[in-house]
């Protein structure tokens, strides 16, 4: 199963990249307000935003690679690796988006990743 680790990690990284692109897109679109014309404007701005479109495309690539992984590797082995995207996304959010990432959040992500290491060794 470990021979599929590069493809699994590609899936993880494309998943994280998609999240980051979607966040950038939504930052430029702005907040949602569910009232009349504003909702339609929001939908159009979102659908036409290049970061959103690229993020969605990247999700498709990530899911395609995940399907390949699932055709060759046990689900209980492959799926927990997706949690590694938490590290990439959180680090990006902290360093580039200047989001507040507290100790409890880091500890929680650390525990999830520890569990992933146990699974990878099994």
Q: How confident is the model at residue 80 (pLDDT cuts 50, 70, 90)?
A: confident
Per-residue pLDDT at 65 exceeds 80: yes
Residue 52 vs residue 35, higher pLDDT = 52
Query: Residue 88 in 3-state DSSP?
Result: helix
pLDDT mean over 85-110 = 93
pLDDT in tens, 16-51: 999 999 999 999 998 877 776 688 888 899 999 999
User: pTM for this one?
Assistant: 0.87
Residue-level pLDDT at 31: 82
Cα–Cα dist 47/95, whole Å: 27
Per-residue pLDDT at 112 exceeds 90: no
Q: How far is CA 98 from the centre of its chain?
A: 18
Burial-class residue 71 by CB neighbours within 10 Å (0-12, 13-18, 19+): exposed
Nearest-10 crossing angle of helices 50-70, 36-48: 60
Residue with tokens 């990247």, as numbered in its chain:
58
Domain segments of the chain as ranges: 2-121
């Amino acid at each position: 199963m470990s021979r599929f680790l590069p493809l699994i990690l590609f899936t993880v990284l494309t998943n994280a990249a998609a999240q980051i692109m979607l966040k950038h897109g939504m930052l430029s679109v702005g907040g949602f307000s569910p009232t009349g014309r504003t909702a339609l404007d929001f939908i159009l701005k979102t659908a036409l935003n290049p970061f959103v479109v690229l993020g969605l495309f990247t999700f498709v690539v990530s899911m395609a690679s995940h399907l390949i992984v699932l055709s060759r590797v046990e689900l209980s082995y492959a799926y927990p690796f997706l949690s590694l995207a938490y590290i990439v996304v959180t680090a990006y959010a902290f360093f580039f988006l200047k989001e507040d990432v507290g100790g409890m959040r880091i500890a929680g992500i650390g525990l999830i990743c520890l569990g992933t290491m146990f699974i990878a060794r099994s």
